[in-house]
Amino acid sequence: MRRDFDGVVVASPVSVPYARFSIETAQWWAGAALRGLTEASGISHKEMDGLSVSSFSLGADSAISLTQHFGMTVRYLDTVPLGGASATVSLRRAARAVQAGDADVIACIGADTNHPDSFRQSLENFSRFAQDAVYPMGSGGANASFALLTRNYMARFGATREDFARICVAQRDNALKNPNALMRKPLTVEQYMTARPIAAPVHLFDCVMPCAGAEAFLVMREETARAQGLTYARLTSAIERHHSFPEDPIQIRGGWAVDVDELYAMAGCTPGDIDVLQTYDDYPVIVMMQFEDLKFCAKGEGHDFVRSHDLRIGGDFPQNTSGGQLSAGQAGAAGGHLGLVEAIRQVTGQAGPTQVAQAKRAMALGFGMINYDRGLASAAVILEAA
Amino acid sequence: MTRELLPPSKKNPLERSQVPLRPPAARSAPTLGLLIGATQGRFALQHCDGCGRFLYPVRDVCPDCLGQRLSFQDAPRGGVLLSETTIDITADPYFRRQPAQRQGLVQADCGVTMIALLHRDCPAEGRVRLSLMTDRAGMPVVFAHPETGGAPHMEDDPDWRELTAQPKFRRVLITDGRSPVAEPLARQLLKAGAQEVFVGVADRWKPAPGVDALGGIEGVTLCDLDLRDERSVTGLAADLAGKTDILINSAYHFRPGGLFDAGQVLRAKDTLDICALGLLRLAQAFGPALMGRGGDGTTRNAAAWVNVLSIWAQTGRPASAIFAAAQAAELSLAQSLRGELAQGGVRVMNVFAGALEDEWFEDLPPPKTAPAAVARTVVTALEQGIEDSYVGPDAEEFRARMARNPKEVERLMWQG
């Protein structure tokens, strides 16, 4: 059994409101998030001694360039190029650093900009395998890759588009309460079902909207947070697992399934103890896989689970309470931070209009990097009210 | 089932000609190893010589044994379709113009999983037959046919048509009607559905039975074309360049003779004039027009330029040194031409033959290659999208020996 995360807390959830397109750079968005962290915590960026950055659009820069750009002097520095798994992984690694005393206050930032052509460019240059063996076969991007996974999942387990609609419609309902969500119109099951196909069975409302934005939080030891007078949440468990189950000919599960028992054991809880869940939701099929792999239901029963649960803020299984990326927008690597930042807000009672009553324990999940035929990176964290 | 392609109507001259677009052309250098198979109609995948596994996508290290002795080996073509989709929305300009692309994830019998372009007749689940092809950017892609073929009009699948240069409904120019290949080639092209075959003939007043036979074929039009004469080439291009969809350079001027034979400098000038400079003149007159029409629809756009070459283009041969040199020059120009025409999505294909079964090779023992076999190979290359073809047993042997050791071939050529 690995060591627990005793004494590690997260604080100062920051979201820089998203924009569909931005003429600013990723550095600009990351800087805005850093300023948000100083304002939320009262800790000067010059006092922070750790920086962890995730972004697809920094160009030639990585976290090291940003220390000089932003005027920070740090002794912990990480660039986490894991897309949708970046926030949960950043947190896990930063937690170990503050726990060991390698650093005291680590700023974790996910930030990306979005120009009108940047989505196509990022698809074309995503990875070597994608460039060589995916993009030339129709240039469908992630939509086509997830379409292949979705069709197989539906055929194998009996999930239907109506089941996916429940996830998307519930998240849109949640987004209506989030003033920062880009999608502000209600979505009906009928609208979902009749939306135009993008790469069948993936249709319009299965897809996230790429946008510019940033999300951030601070990782520190409990005594630091207390001394600063910050509201904080405890980290009780964290896992990451990459390129799991290479023997599966087509992906039906993520790396969570390898470590899920340890995840709950470290946190000393069971799936039933999770009050609010933030899944990684680029495409509802992945949400359903997470319900299964994190043992909220058995493998292949995700569709039964969504039929028998209410995923809205006031429902019996509140999920992606900010609307998730499907309704709030996907700000590149910040998209991986959306759920975690919302989870911090939930268990610290700072979620405002999206607050779930009595949210004491939250789980946030990360998933990312379709390198060729499957998502490679999976991660999860559990947070508890202090 | 594939919808039958209908003959295109005459192009409305007021309509804008679509500019050529290319599919995404970026590939890592190791992935270009797939071209070994893709250009020859073979399904050769990366193979770890250490542990015997096939690898895909192309890697630098075997993920099983970390071996780095990796080669490209012929693999079984079968596979099972695991899942499929049709990409209605894409941000790539080339694929936006194409009909919605069908794509599948295939578990290949050789053990790898391949994302493939999918023939529209492939059932949603079931067995497929895989091919490595070159796309219109000249880069390797994977295509899957249904394993059991035979459905009508399968060759009309719009993606398959993009990956090949089907003669069906296309207009073809054969540049040298005096080549023994010209007559069987014209017949086979028409049989394969070519709309019209133009055949260039130099000095038409000179009697030639092959040319007379050509003139009698319905669908064939004879034209004046002397590859040695720039004005003749540009003159014909003025009439035909805008409606030549496939150009087949059949220029044939074999004369034996070695370096020490008298008068070889003059003979070399003659031979180079036809083989190498002939291609250059054709390229200057027809190339830009072909390139500009590479993207003009998919039914009757410019699709390919084929060169009928001798295997001796790839090595010296003392007994016909001048001819081999001229062929080598033509091959070099053809390779540069391939790079130019790829900008417009037009393929350059080479068909290599050994000694032909005709009077000029009387002194050589069999096996020699029948002109009709060369013609068949040209049509197959067009229909299957094969960049480099070798006709007959001697050309096949030449290819195998060259792949093993070009110096061995060079020495063998000393024997004639």
Residue A351 contacts residue A320 (beta carbons within 8 Å): no
pLDDT at B151 over 90: no
**The pLDDT of residue B9:** 83
Is the pLDDT confidence value at B360 over 90?
no
- Per-residue model confidence (pLDDT) at position A123: 76
Take residue A175 and report the two structure tokens written for it: 């987004």
Residue A271 and residue A295: Cα distance in Å, rounded? 6
Look at B92 and A200 and tell me if their CB atoms are within 8 Å.
no
Which residues have C-beta within 8 Å of that of residue B164, sequence separation ≥ 6? B133, B155, B382, B383, B384, B385
Q: Which residues of A touch B24 (CB under 8 A)?
A: 124, 131, 135-136, 139
Of B88, B91, B107, the CB nearest to A249: B107
Where does B171-414 sit in CATH, by number?
A: 3.40.50.720
Interface of B with A in 25-44 (CB under 8 A): 26-28, 31
Q: Is the ipTM of this complex over 0.85?
A: yes
pLDDT digits (tens, 9 = 90+) for B86-141: 999 999 999 999 999 999 999 999 999 999 999 999 998 899 999 999 999 999 99
Degrees, nearest 5: CA angle B200-B201-B202: 125
Higher model confidence: residue B219 or residue B254? B219
- Whether the link from the prior residue into B180 is cis, omega within 30° of 0, is no
Q: Report d(CA A292, CA B341) in Å as an integer.
A: 52
Query: Does residue B377 contact residue B354 with C-beta atoms inside 8 Å?
Result: no
**Which percentage of chain B shows pLDDT scores above 70?**
100
Write out chain A residues lying below 8 Å of B117, CB-based.
137-138
Lowest mean pLDDT among A164-173, B149-158, B168-177, B348-357: B149-158
d(CA B168, CA A291): 53
> Which pLDDT belongs to residue A357?
96
A139/B90 CB distance under 8 A: yes
Hey, are the CB atoms on B103 and A373 less than 8 Å from each other?
A: no
Test mutation, B31, B35, B53, B89, chain A, max A CBs within 10 A: B89
Mapped onto helix, strand or coil, the DSSP state of residue A361 is strand
Q: pTM for the full model?
A: 0.94
**What is the full per-residue pLDDT of chain A (386 aa) written as tens digits?**
789 999 999 999 999 999 999 999 999 999 999 999 999 999 999 999 999 999 999 999 999 999 999 999 999 999 999 999 999 999 999 999 999 999 999 999 999 999 988 777 777 778 999 999 999 999 999 999 999 999 999 999 999 999 999 999 999 999 999 999 999 999 999 999 999 999 999 999 999 999 999 999 999 999 999 999 999 999 999 999 999 999 999 999 999 999 999 999 999 999 999 999 999 998 999 999 999 999 999 999 999 999 999 999 999 999 999 999 999 999 999 999 999 999 999 999 999 999 999 999 999 999 999 999 999 999 999 999 99
**Number of inter-chain CB pairs under 8 A, A vs B:** 125
Q: Do B88 and A147 count as a contact with CB atoms less than 8 A apart?
A: no
pLDDT at B16: 83
Q: How many Å apart are CA B10 and CA B8, to the nearest integer?
A: 7
Domain ranges for chain B: 30-162, 171-414
Task: Mark yes or no for CB contact B57/A139 under 8 Å.
Answer: no
pLDDT band for position B143 (cuts 50, 70, 90): very high
pLDDT score of B12: 82
pLDDT of residue B69: 97
On the 0-12 / 13-18 / 19+ scale of CB atoms within 10 A, A247 is exposed
User: Whole-angstrom Cα distance, residue B348 to residue B304?
Assistant: 6
- Is the alpha carbon torsion for A108, A319, A379, A119 positive or negative? negative
Q: Which of B84, B105, B142 sits opposite A373 (nearest CB)?
A: B105
Would you place residue B388 in the very low, low, confident or very high pLDDT band (cuts 50, 70, 90)? Answer: very high
Distances (CA, A) of A330 to A290, B12, B22, B98, B167: 19, 45, 30, 28, 47
Q: Percentage of residues in chain B with pLDDT exceeding 90?
A: 86
Residues 242-271 of A with CB under 8 A from B: 246, 249-250
Q: Can you give the pLDDT at residue A117?
A: 82
More confident: B366 or B380? B380
Q: B380 touching A, CB under 8 A?
A: no
User: Which of B85, B97, B102 to probe the A interface (max A CBs under 10 A)?
Assistant: B85
What pLDDT does A87 receive? 97
